[in-house]
Amino acid sequence: MDNPIQIPTVAELQAKGEKPELLYWVGCAASFDQRAQRTARAVAQILTKAGILFAILGAEESCTGDPARRAGHEWLFQMMALKNIQTLNQYGIQQIVTSCPHCFHTLKNEYPELGGHYEVWHHTQLIEKLIREKRIQLREEKEERVTYHDSCYLGRANGIFDAPRDILKALHTQMHEMLHHRTRGMCCGAGGAQMWKEEEPGKTRVNIARTQEALDTKAQTIVAACPFCHIMLYDGVKHFGKEEEIRVKDIAELVAERLM
């Protein structure tokens, strides 16, 4: 999915005397992980298509501090948060969209008490709005059997269950829910800083148990809305040797594929 779009940084815009209406907070996964980078490009394509003047922070973006905080390192979290808030406030950022539910949750719910007040969107909310307002048009294609994996920090933590499902409806997909979904959605196993260490001993890995539930739906595409869920579920699909038959996609990629 090569994209010819050049995405400016906030600093570049500022040098031209401009300010973005929206900041795309990319997050570490979409910045560095090759699979998640496709999500970042898809988000950029969608925003461009909708004619939104957006920018990224580039090298000035840092970790929100979420994994440190959940591992127990409050000190490091506060350091990162205060630095990020300083950067954001310096540029007068008001609206943020992010494709990572962990960044989303932290920016939205945990930065205000440290002085960071922004209107924060998760990309599923924004894309749903753009579709509803007909600011982007989607091609109709053959019906695809999909299942959607609820991210904990999007769903349970922030009550966003409908926006991604509405997008999948707009894409005319055939939705098949997993055994555990919505408020009962089962974690992919990456949250709480688990992404950065080995799992404790057990019968199986969390992502494998969850992927099994996804495979049970017989969906052709497993849809995620979080780069970490994405990585975990893809690893799960690989574990079952099904990476050739079954796609794991971020919802933004599905939308970008159908952009008219």
Partner 1 sequence: MILVQQIVFIALLVAGITIFSRKLRHIRRNILLGRKEKITDHSWERWKRVILFAFGQKKMFRNWIPGILHLFVYLGFIIINIEIVEIILDGILGTHRLFLPYMKQAYPIFISAFEVLAVLVIIACSIFLIRRNVLHVKRFEQPEMTRWPRQDANNILIFEIILMLLFLTMNTSDQALQYLHERGYHHTGFFLISYPISKLFVHSSPAFLIGMERSAWWLHITGVLFFLNYLPYSKHFHILLAFPNTYYASLESSGKMPLMENIVPEVKNMLGLSDSSASLESGSEQAAVPEHFGAKDIFDLSWRHLLAAYSCTECGRCTAACPANLTGKKLSPRKIVMDTRDRLEEVGKNIDLHGQFIDDGKSLLDYISEEELRACTTCQACVVECPVSISPLAIILELRRYLVMEASQTPQDWNAMFTSIENNGAPWAFPPDERGRWAQS
Judged by CB under 8 A, the chain residues 186 through 245 that form the site for partner 1 are 186-187, 189-206, 208-210
Q: Which of residues 104-163 bind partner 1 (CB under 8 A)?
A: 105, 109-110, 112-115, 152-153, 156-158
Beta strand 95-98 with 145-148: parallel, antiparallel or unpaired? unpaired
Q: Which of 9, 14, 94, 220 binds partner 1 (CB under 8 A)?
A: 9
CB-wise, 158 or 217, nearer to partner 1? Answer: 158
Does 37 help bind partner 1 (rule: CB under 8 A)? yes
Which whole-number Å values give the CA distances from 167 to 25, 34, 42, 138, in the listed order? Answer: 21, 24, 14, 11
Mark the segment that binds partner 1 (CB under 8 A) among 36-44, 45-53, 130-138, 166-174. Answer: 36-44
DSSP string computed for 104-172? HHIIIIISGGGT---EEEEHHHHHHHHHHTTSS-B------EEEEPPPTTTTTTT---HHHHHHHHHTT
* Shortest distance, position 32 Cβ to partner 1, whole Å: 5
CA distance 108 to 117: 8
On whether the CB atoms of residues 80 and 64 are closer than 8 A, the answer is: yes
* Shortest distance, position 71 Cβ to partner 1, whole Å: 5
* Shortest distance, position 5 Cβ to partner 1, whole Å: 8
Does 78 help bind partner 1 (rule: CB under 8 A)? yes
Q: Would the CA dihedral through 89, 90, 96, 100 be positive or negative?
A: negative
CB atoms within 10 A of CB 139: 10
Number of residues that bind partner 1 (CB under 8 A): 76
Q: Which of 13, 49, 52, 62 binds partner 1 (CB under 8 A)?
A: 62
Does 73 help bind partner 1 (rule: CB under 8 A)? yes
Owner of token pair 């992927």? 211
* Shortest distance, position 232 Cβ to partner 1, whole Å: 10
Does 32 help bind partner 1 (rule: CB under 8 A)? yes
CA distance 93 to 73: 27
Mark the segment that binds partner 1 (CB under 8 A) among 28-36, 90-98, 129-137, 239-247. Answer: 28-36
